[in-house]
Structure 1
Amino acid sequence: MVRGIFSVLLLQACLALAAVPAVPVVDRRADGLRLVKTSDEDPGTWMTEEEKFENLVSKRIGFMDITDTMELEAIGAQRMTTNVKRASALAFPTTPSHQTEAKALIANLKQSNLQTWTNSLADFYNRYYRGSYAASSATWMHDTVVSVASANPAITVKQFTHSYNQPSVIAAIPGTSGSVVVVSAHYDSVGSSTSGRAPGADDNASGVVTILEALRVLAAAKYKPGNTLEFHFYSGEEGGLLGSRDVFNSYASNDVDVLAVMNQDMTGFSPNNVIAVYTDYVDSSLTSFIQKLVPVYTSLPLSTDKCGYGCSDHASARSAGYAAAYVCDENMADSSPYIHSASDTVSTVSFPHVLEHAKLTVGFLVEASYF
């Protein structure tokens, strides 16, 4: 297990998060309002769920709903600045060094599983976190993870409950170090309205099945990592990263030693046939390492881009003071035009492309087991 030297940049980033203006004094939750932020500097605006959808979700504007996690950024910054171990950045490797081990596992990935699970998720009319299918999609997610993980009795699977009726699901392969590495994706979906059809095949059934298949392969191999490997399936992402903020609020409050988080949101639509690793609102050292994994563990070229504030669940990990990275299927300009609509169907997903993301995920998990 390798720990790095003190990182001034990481410390400054955490202090910047702590310097965000205080949230409004008047608490409007009793009025049924939600507090949302659209930048690090934004103190937050109270709005109804309907206004949140019309002003932000429907316009694909990145935001965080901080109503239930108002102190997350302060907790994350305090955790980093008061504990030397946490204020020390990981010295992420400069090159991958466990290719033989990782590629033996990668050989067991099955594209057919990716398609089967994507079909099952897309069969839900929608998976909106406040909708009629929130609970049933959550049950499917939990039961499927339990089934996949059952090959290794050492793996634990739990539901992480929220203020809405759609728990997140967390599977953990226990390690020996006391530290944690996370791969994540959100399973909720939304359409052109909160009650409309939303198969969410690319956004984000594709990301879910990517890490689900990685879990299956490691479970079947009864893989024994150094660091605990966690697989997070978040709910409520489309409502402002609700599920992931709850999870990382809990982790930061309890000082869980999360070394790295690699989030994937959309892995199946790529006109340029690339793997995109985003470079804003992420940990630059972890991101650089993941960029180096792309040509080693996949057959696709690397693309980089920026996606803005709160564009996916890695932002919650960053708010908590953890090293986070975001991997996607395409750059912003060429990303799927079908997301958040009834047209985000399985027919738009390239499963060979999703398989490449699964390869990257297994490679990352094996490498990260040795951080």
Structure 2
Amino acid sequence: MNRKLLALMLCGLFAASTAEAAPKKVWITLGDAAFLQLQKLAPATIAKESKALLANEGLIAAERVHLVEVDEQQLLGLSAAVHHELHRCGGFMFHSSEAAGRQALQAPVTLLATLRPSYVLDNQSVVNALLPQMQDSNIAQTIVDMSAFANRYYTTNNGVNASNWLKTRWQQMSAGRSDISVEQFSHAGWPQKSVILTIKGTDNASEVVVLGGHLDSINGQGTTENTRAPGADDDASGIASLSEALRVIVASGYKPRRTIKIMGYAAEEVGLRGSQEIAKSFKAANVNVVGVMQLDMTNYKGSDKDIYLYTDYTDNAQNQFVANLLTTYLPSVQIGYDKCGYACSDHASWSGQGYFASMPFESSFTQDNPYIHTANDTYANSGNQAQHALKFSKMALAFMVELGSDGPAGPGPVDKVENFSGKLALGQQQSYGPFKVAAGGRVSVVLAGTGDADLYLRKGSAPSTTVFDCKSDGPNSTENCALNISANADVYLLLNGYAAANYTLKVTYRAQ
């Protein structure tokens, strides 16, 4: 063979093999803390754009978010570093292009803000009848079944099979209900599909309530076809908690007025890819999602409180609604508050598209399950129990019923509305009332403002911070309380300045 021709052929083969070996470049966004970890792994990394996302409806924490182009193979090391050094999950969002990444740096605009749902708790008889039917043994079985897959990684056959298994399981659970359907959401970039169960609303089906967890799992050392990544807590536990709520909903024959969708997201562990595609598709179709709850890890109790509500990249008003659900229906559950940083789970995909989202979690973020992303994330290492996850299942069911039961206002008496505003110093109190509420009506109070004011209601006489019929005392001045009134009653209201606060107050009631 001609030497020159041979040399050219060899050079061509070398060039081709070099091109094939070249690492794939991808775009991600990540917060300050995760960006520092990435720079340790790849010191030459430079952000294409960095932006401080300003607070909007309580969505954003005090950190900058960075757009970076990285070698895809570096994502595994980044994920491991975030887990081991920052003691948290995730920390980045994957984007299909630079333009998509730049779009993610824009502060989200809340969709249909004038149509925020009512957060009044007015379905106690339904919820209280359903909660005792829930069983931790069913949650445990789902965790065991899901963690029996070698792994549920988004590119493996096991990951595909796990998605198919979940679809079949939810179909079996909802058999006989013509208003319930189960489908898979296909993703063009990987084989694992997300799973979506839909309970169609009876008379307000265009409004949608979403609850989700992720069905994939990962081993931080690298996940191939046969790598062991049981993901019992992360996140078989979240899927199991939702599945038990679904079982009771089906068994009871409950039918919501709003449409409820329960989702098992694919590819969460590699940049929230599955939930991002779904949330973007809902926004593009202008779907009126009135509330989103994410359950990512529910069965490892690593902290003194039971359920922690994360206050960054979530919605303040909906978080307070969730807190009210817990104090009303699960009064023994202790509530904590924490932050988890940028893109810590799939709720960030929804809040990034402007939807109201909440993220209740099993522990404070620095005390989460130390076994996740390893072969040791097993049911045994969550204590061979599902009692902690049962608390989340009950909370999720209350969320479904209280949001799902609301619908378009029917005919009836017009409620009276009174508005107030003022300031409170630390320790200062302000009283209002009596509000004369008619039998069969209810009084609803919504507090907004800056600082930290707490809200107390009482029938018959003035409340105090220790004697009340309803209280709302979250970590800010976004509070709400409501009372159902069976007979004509005087209702009194107290505001307490836990810290200095400027506030507005809206009182809605059926007047005598």
Asked if 1:188 corresponds to 2:211, the answer is no
**Percent identity for Structure 1 against Structure 2:** 32
Q: 1:179 aligns with which of 207, 223, 240?
A: 207
Give the Cα–Cα distance (whole angstroms) in 2 for the partners of residues 73 and 153 of structure 1: 42
Aligned-residue offset at 1:106: 1.6
Contact 1:235 1:243 in 2 (8 A): yes
Contact 1:69 1:245 in 2 (8 A): no
Residue aligned with 1:258, SS: strand
Residue aligned with 2:73, SS: helix
Aligned residue identity for 1:51: Q
Aligned residue identity for 1:32: K
Aligned residue identity for 2:281: S
Aligned-residue offset at 1:46: 2.0
Give the Cα–Cα distance (whole angstroms) in 2 for the partners of residues 72 and 249 of structure 1: 13
Asked if 1:297 corresponds to 2:326, the answer is no
TM value normalised by structure 2: 0.62
Give the Cα–Cα distance (whole angstroms) in 1 for the partners of residues 252 and 229 of structure 2: 35
Aligned residue identity for 1:308: G
Counterpart of 2:78 in structure 1 is 55
Aligned-residue offset at 1:370: 3.5
Aligned-residue offset at 1:297: 2.3
Residue aligned with 1:100, SS: helix
Contact 1:76 1:321 in 2 (8 A): no
Select the structure of larger CA radius of gyration. 2
Q: Deviations over 1:88-144 (max 9, x none)?
A: 251542x52212101212222122211111101111111111234111111111111
Aligned residue identity for 1:226: R
Q: Deviations over 1:207-249 (max 9, x none)?
A: 0001111111112223211110110110100011011001001
- Are residues 249 and 31 of structure 1, via their aligned partners in 2, closer, same or farther at CA, if it must alter by over 3 Å? farther
Counterpart of 2:378 in structure 1 is 345
Contact 2:305 2:335 in 1 (8 A): no
Higher relative contact order at CA 8 Å, sep ≥6: structure 1 or structure 2? 1
Contact 2:67 2:102 in 1 (8 A): no
Residue aligned with 2:366, SS: coil
Aligned-residue offset at 1:76: 12
Aligned residue identity for 1:180: V
Aligned positions of 1:149-188 closer than 5 A: 149-162=174-187, 163-175=189-201, 176-177=203-204, 178-188=206-216
Would you tell me which structure has more helix in proportion to its own residues?
1
- Are residues 346 and 306 of structure 1, via their aligned partners in 2, closer, same or farther at CA, if it must alter by over 3 Å? same
Would you tell me which structure has more strand in proportion to its own residues?
2
Contact 2:108 2:352 in 1 (8 A): no
Counterpart of 2:152 in structure 1 is 127
Aligned-residue offset at 1:194: 2.6
Contact 1:57 1:238 in 2 (8 A): no
Asked if 1:139 corresponds to 2:131, the answer is no
Residue aligned with 1:65, SS: strand
Name the Cα RMSD after superposition. 2.4
Residue aligned with 2:137, SS: helix
Asked if 1:328 corresponds to 2:361, the answer is yes
Q: 2:114 aligns with which of 88, 91, 94?
A: 88
Asked if 1:253 corresponds to 2:284, the answer is yes
Aligned positions of 1:1-371 closer than 5 A: 32-39=24-31, 41=51, 42=65, 44-60=67-83, 61-67=90-96, 71=100, 74=103, 80=109, 86-88=112-114, 90-93=116-119, 95-162=120-187, 163-175=189-201, 176-177=203-204, 178-195=206-223, 196-271=227-302, 272=304, 274-298=306-330, 299-349=332-382, 350-371=385-406
- Are residues 149 and 201 of structure 1, via their aligned partners in 2, closer, same or farther at CA, if it must alter by over 3 Å? same
- Are residues 72 and 284 of structure 1, via their aligned partners in 2, closer, same or farther at CA, if it must alter by over 3 Å? farther
Aligned residue identity for 1:48: D
Q: Deviations over 1:315-354 (max 9, x none)?
A: 0000111000001111112211111111111012341111
Aligned-residue offset at 1:273: 5.1
Contact 1:282 1:326 in 2 (8 A): yes
Give the Cα–Cα distance (whole angstroms) in 2 for the partners of residues 74 and 286 of structure 1: 25
Give the Cα–Cα distance (whole angstroms) in 2 for the partners of residues 102 and 116 of structure 1: 24
Give the Cα–Cα distance (whole angstroms) in 1 for the partners of residues 75 and 345 of structure 2: 16
- Are residues 155 and 77 of structure 1, via their aligned partners in 2, closer, same or farther at CA, if it must alter by over 3 Å? farther
- Are residues 203 and 225 of structure 1, via their aligned partners in 2, closer, same or farther at CA, if it must alter by over 3 Å? same
Contact 1:135 1:166 in 2 (8 A): yes
Contact 1:151 1:220 in 2 (8 A): no
Contact 1:126 1:199 in 2 (8 A): yes
Q: Deviations over 1:159-189 (max 9, x none)?
A: 0011211100000111121100011100111
Aligned-residue offset at 1:292: 1.4
